[in-house]
């Protein structure tokens, strides 16, 4: 490869790196029902919404906000269980997560202290059989 082609590839590659995350976000609604599932886009798991959509309860007090997340799902050992809850901010950046022990945890319930965070929180609940579910709250 000559030097001119290498530079051209390097420039286009770096531009793609800048643009690609924006493309992902712009197409995020297309991912619902495929990469992850929501109440309105349950994809192949249309009959599984109630047991997999994470319920979000927001509590405010003393200048801080806390979330309680419950997925109304069985914890049947390693056979069928909720693997974790994950909290992402409005830009889908990681805030916190809770991993569950399918033997010790009898209910997929988690609590998060978000301090003074305001805005959108994206809450994911991951089932070992029925994939990842998203619910959203404004705080």
Q: How far is the CB of 30 from Fe ion (least distance, A)?
A: 24
Residue nearer to Fe ion on the CB measure, 73 or 114: 73
Q: How far is the CB of 98 from Fe ion (least distance, A)?
A: 17
Residue nearer to Fe ion on the CB measure, 60 or 106: 106
127 binds Fe ion per the rule CB under 5 A: yes
Q: Distance between CA 24 and CA 35 in Å, rounded? A: 12
Q: Distance between CA 96 and CA 123 in Å, rounded? A: 10
Contact between 95 and 114 under an 8 Å Cβ cutoff? The reply is yes
Q: How far is the CB of 35 from Fe ion (least distance, A)?
A: 17
């Amino acid at each position: 490869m000559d030097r001119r082609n290498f530079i051209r590839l390097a420039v286009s590659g770096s531009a793609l790196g800048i643009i690609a995350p924006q493309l992902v976000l712009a197409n995020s609604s297309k991912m619902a029902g495929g990469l992850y599932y929501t109440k309105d886009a349950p994809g192949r798991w249309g009959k599984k919404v109630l047991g997999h959509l994470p319920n979000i309860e927001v509590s405010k007090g003393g200048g801080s906000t806390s979330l309680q997340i419950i997925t109304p799902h069985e914890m049947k050992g390693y056979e069928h269980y909720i693997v974790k809850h994950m909290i992402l901010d409005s830009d889908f950046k990681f805030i916190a997560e809770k991993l569950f022990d399918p033997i010790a945890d009898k209910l997929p319930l988690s609590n998060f202290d978000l301090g003074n965070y305001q805005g959108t929180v994206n809450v994911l609940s991951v089932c070992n059989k029925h994939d990842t579910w998203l619910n959203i709250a404004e705080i």
